[in-house]
């Protein structure tokens, strides 16, 4: 699974500073009480992890030049695995998918705020999963409350990642995200320091201007 490790590293190389990237996977949608629709993993989540289980979250932390990948995945459950199929669990995510650490997904609310210690900006895709925006704001607020002397961490949208051609991610300069600050249409969330994403038009302009160099 070396390719997924390399992709995670390339992503953080193009985001400056001490940062965290949080990408939610797809959730299992129920068709009726005891049946579910066929599962399809979120494309960005799978591109960065290769992991194909529902209700999972990946976190990439880059601090002081060191990058770590952390996963939150469904816990091992022998009974559920009889009906729903094999689960890797946290140990399997580390051993088979190259993650530095992994936990059961029901531990995320307790552990993630502490993992954000020392981070200046948290990137995640706005509006991707119902309720996930509120979770990120809750995690960052809890992390900020633990260290009142440091600058409050920002929350920024990384939805542009899916719009970018992924094979060109390594060549995409960090100023692509920083350019948000110069957009006349950029606004800030009234309750938090949330940066809004580059528009599709700006992304197309970027690739048209730089396609010969990437």
Each residue of 101-114: pLDDT tens digit?
999 999 999 999 99
Model confidence at 20, pLDDT cuts 50, 70, 90, reads: very high
Instruction: Summarize the confidence of residues 132-157 as an average pLDDT.
Output: 87
CATH 3.30.360.10 assigned to 2-213: no
Closest CA to 24 of 158, 114, 121, 115: 158
More confident residue, 117 or 175: 117
- Burial category of 16 from C-beta neighbours within 10 Å (exposed 0-12, middle 13-18, buried 19 and up): middle
Q: What local confidence, expressed as pLDDT, does residue 38 receive? A: 87
The pLDDT value given to residue 59: 97
Give domain limits for the chain: 2-213
Tens digits of residue pLDDT in 172-195: 444 344 444 443 343 344 334 444
State the pLDDT at residue 203: 44
Whether pLDDT at 148 is above 50:
yes
Summarize pLDDT for 21-42 with one digit per residue, the tens: 999 999 988 887 777 788 999 9
Q: What is the pLDDT of residues 48-104, one digit of tens each?
A: 999 999 999 999 999 988 999 999 999 999 999 998 899 999 999 999 999 999 999
Determine the Cα–Cα distance for residues 176 and 157; give it in Å rounded to an integer.
12
Residue 199: pLDDT over 50: no
Whether the CB-CB separation of 183 and 202 falls below 8 Å is answered with yes
Contact 63, 118 (CB under 8 A): yes
Q: What is the pLDDT of residue 162?
A: 56
Question: pTM for this one?
Answer: 0.75
């Amino acid at each position: 699974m070396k390719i997924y490790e390399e992709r995670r590293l390339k992503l953080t190389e193009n985001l400056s500073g001490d940062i965290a990237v949080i990408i939610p996977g797809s959730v299992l949608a129920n068709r009726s009480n005891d049946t579910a629709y066929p599962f399809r993993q979120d494309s960005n989540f799978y591109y960065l992890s290769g992991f194909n289980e529902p209700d999972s979250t990946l976190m990439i932390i880059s601090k002081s030049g060191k990058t770590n990948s952390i996963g939150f995945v469904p816990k091992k459950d022998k009974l559920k695995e009889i009906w729903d199929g094999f689960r890797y669990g946290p140990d399997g995510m580390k051993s088979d998918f190259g993650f530095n650490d992994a936990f059961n997904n029901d531990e995320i609310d307790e552990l993630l705020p502490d993992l954000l210690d020392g981070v200046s900006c948290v990137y995640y895709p706005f509006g991707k999963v119902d309720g996930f925006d509120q979770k990120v704001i809750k995690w960052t607020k809890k992390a900020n409350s633990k260290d009142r002397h440091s600058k409050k961490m920002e929350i920024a949208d990384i939805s542009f990642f899916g719009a970018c051609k992924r094979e060109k991610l390594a060549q995409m300069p960090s100023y692509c995200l920083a350019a948000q600050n110069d957009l006349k249409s950029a606004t800030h969330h009234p309750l938090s320091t949330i940066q809004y994403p580059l528009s599709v038009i700006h992304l197309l302009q970027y690739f048209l201007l730089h396609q010969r160099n990437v």
